[in-house]
Amino acid sequence: MLTKAQTDMRVTMIPAKPKEEISGGIDTIKRVAAYCRVSTDQDDQINSYEAQCSFFTECIDSHEGWKKVKVFADEGITGTQAKKRPEFMKMLRYCRQGRIDIILAKSFSRFARNTVESIQYVRELKSLGIAVIFDKENINTLEQTDEMLITLFSWFAQAESESISKNVTWGIRRSFEQGNFSMHYSTTLGYERGEDGEPKIVPEEAETIRMIYSMFLDGSSYRDIAKALTEQGRKKASGKTDWTHANVMSILKNEKYAGDALLQKTYVTDCISKKTKKNTGELPMYLVTDHHAAIIDRNTFKRAQVEISRRSCIKKASGKNAVDDQGKYSAKYALTNLMFCEECGAPYRRTTWTAKGYKEIVWRCVSRLEIGKKKCKHSPTLHEESLHRAIVDAINDFCDVREKVKAVLKESVQRTIAPEGKTLAQLEKLKKEMNDEVSRLLDLTLRENDYTKYDSEFKRLSDEIEKINEQIRTEQEKLTERSVSADTMQTILDRIENTNFQLTEYDDVMTRGFIERITVIDKHTIKIQFKGGYETVQTLD
């Protein structure tokens, strides 16, 4: 901390130079500016924004031969990048315009915390004949012939910034480990801060969230959902009503609507560039379950994630001549995403035939349509009316076997829930026993002062623990898959219970809701696989 006596640095810090050297024999007044910056609020007033401005103003005004240009001050702004300090950049413009002769700064850490930028700007100012005087380090850059000292101090300043950044990051990650996080209410639709400080559901906004999930699981595309929301004038978190497919997708992927919170999805690469990257495994993530009140149940959220994955996995028709983006999910026609060619595996596409002024809707294999017979020789063209009749018959026939299907599904749900092999709890117990054994061996090693005696045992235990960790990861994945599968089957059961299967005409919604896949075998035959596993072969008339 500088005392009043220490502030009188004018005589010793800037030794007199021959006037001829400075100004060609003309006695000139030095135009002096100061730069100060305060990164955080501090109780110590000498480091405060106001105190630094006052200190430099007094210093310049009391020094004979100096004339104050301006005190440039960035308040509460990080110092790692000059471009993010407007007053610093303004000071540089003054220098380049020849309006400043000397710059005063309290220390390197206040001037810059980025070594590269610090040296860059000091060199530029030096080439312009402008001195930078650092009070704490007692350095005048015009007098310093060896840049090593300047580089060293700059490195210390950058190291200080990185240390502060790491401390802050550590605190945030420690908070994540404990399951603590703050909801960003301004960007999260459906919640507001309650009187107790916890997330509180906003009923009207929650209705919008539920509508999005319902439409999506009923087969609507992201764009169709966005269009419906916009037409209804439903508000986003920002208060606007112009929905996009990206807005819809973001809500469908947000685990917070199921009452959970996945922490550390992104991370900052370093304190200098401050670039944010998606965390794809570089750092641990923390899933906090049942953190707050859910707007949708976890079953619905899981089914949405499965559906998102399914739609994203729909591939384009292969082949260099395939110019159609048929692989993209389409909500317009249910069969677009359900019907496939048995010969080549490509999806079928709806198209219109025109002959002698008469139009007819047909379905054709995309590979055959885009590439020709060299890709798919025997795939048939199916007339839509005949195809629809066959599907209606299949759904109505499904009604006759619904009780049998329900029994099979219930058995499948129970079988899916039941664990196979060692359970997660058993594996965790085994891992704990292994870790206890490692601790015991460590105690023996220290007691006997022999660091090689138990090497083979340590290696064996290490290998065993790694195998158990892999089994735990696999079991956790299976557990998630079993849970999603059971939830999906239960949803199908509920749908069977509450649906009237006696259709009189084709229905896209019913087709999406109950049919998993349709395989075109030949021009007279299709195989229909219902969700839950039931299959039937239908003949086209």
In the chain (541 residues long), the average pLDDT of successive 10-residue segments reads 46 42 57 80 54 83 89 65 75 94 84 66 86 82 59 50 48 54 84 89 95 89 92 94 93 91 64 58 72 89 84 53 47 83 90 84 90 86 93 82 66 56 76 81 73 73 81 74 62 66 81 88 92 85 81
Backbone φ and ψ for 361, nearest 5 degrees, come out as -85, 125
Taking 3-state DSSP, the helix, strand and coil percentages for the chain, each rounded to the nearest 5, stand at 50, 15, 35
| CA 490 – CA 482 distance, rounded (Å) | 12
Are the C-beta atoms of 131 and 102 separated by less than 8 Å? yes
pLDDT of residue 170: 46
Helix (H) or strand (E) run with residue 341 in it: strand 339-341
- Tell me the domains of the chain and their CATH numbers: 10-164 (3.40.50.1390), 185-310 (3.90.1750.20), 397-541 (no CATH)
Residues in the chain: 541
User: Which of 196, 400, 188, 384 has the alpha carbon at shortest distance from 295?
Assistant: 188
Q: Rounded to an integer, what distance in angstroms lies between the CA atom of residue 242 and that of residue 88?
A: 39
Residue 139 pLDDT? 78
Q: What is the pLDDT of residue 391?
A: 92
179 conformational bin, left if phi > 0, alpha if psi -120 to 50, beta if neither: left
Strands (E), 190-285: 191-193, 199-201, 261-263, 266-268, 276-278
| pLDDT score of 177 | 55
* Cα–Cα dist 372/503, whole Å: 37
Residue 226 CB burial class (10 angstroms; 0-12, 13-18, ≥19): buried
